Amino acid sequence: MFGLQRKLELRELYNDRGHWIASNHSLIFGDLEFVSRAAREISARTRKFHPEIVLTAEAKSIFLAGKTAEYLGLTHFEVARKSLKSYNKSPISTEIKSTISRKERLFLDISSQKSLRGKDVMIIDDVVTTGGNILGLERLAKKCGAIVVAKACIWIEGYPASSPAFEARKGLIYLSTLPEFFLPQRLRKIRESMLP
């Protein structure tokens, strides 16, 4: 991507044996050149939507969101937390489901809610698989009275195997695709679960 070559590690999901992903961990947490280039490309593709603020979920996409906001000429971005802190005031929250951690919650405290209120928001994540983060961020933005004008990520991963995953990908701007790998028996179960 972007004229850069990177190798990704193949990692088995601990909660879904027989299922491996190409882990983006080393790129998102530390590869400044890669994340900066991805942010520049995302900002170029989303500038036409005129977002006033960028919203992401902690933790992997924080640097990506900040660089994207910077390339868009914005001065601020917001981060939904995945755990409630004692100093969070009047938080709102929503439940999300993800491939890796299953059920979690996203939280926005009152200062983030005020920052988003009435704004045109771009939601960003590093990778979209089930769409849990994207859908959760959309719900939080709407609760704040914001308008989601764009959704973006670096990668989509795998086939959207549920209605929420399809919904999350509607209008989604992405740069590339990450492969998934399955043992044959695991793949058979997935195919069987998708039959009417």
Domains of the chain with CATH codes: 9-186 (3.40.50.2020)
Question: What pLDDT, on a 0 to 100 scale, did the predictor assign at position 145?
Answer: 96
Question: What pLDDT, on a 0 to 100 scale, did the predictor assign at position 63?
Answer: 97
**Amino acid at site 117:** R
Query: Chain-wide mean pLDDT for the chain?
Result: 89
Q: How many residues does the chain have?
A: 196
Long-range contacts at 101-107 (CB < 8 A, ≥ 24 apart):
102/15, 104/132, 106/57, 106/80, 106/81, 106/82, 106/133, 106/136, 106/137, 106/140, 107/80, 107/81, 107/82, 107/83
The rounded radius of gyration (Å) of the Cα atoms in the chain is 17
* CA dihedral over 36, 151, 71, 92, signed as positive or negative: negative
Q: How many CA atoms lie within 13 A of 54 on its CB side?
A: 29
pLDDT-based confidence at residue 84 (cuts at 50, 70, 90): confident
CA distance 181 to 195: 20
Name which of 63, 74, 75, 57 is nearest 39 in CA terms.
63
Question: In percent, how much of the chain has pLDDT > 90?
Answer: 56
* CA dihedral over 62, 66, 67, 68, signed as positive or negative: positive
pLDDT-based confidence at residue 102 (cuts at 50, 70, 90): confident
Task: Mention every residue, 6+ apart, whose C-beta is less than 8 A from residue 112.
Answer: 78, 79, 80, 144
Above 70 in pLDDT, residue 90? yes
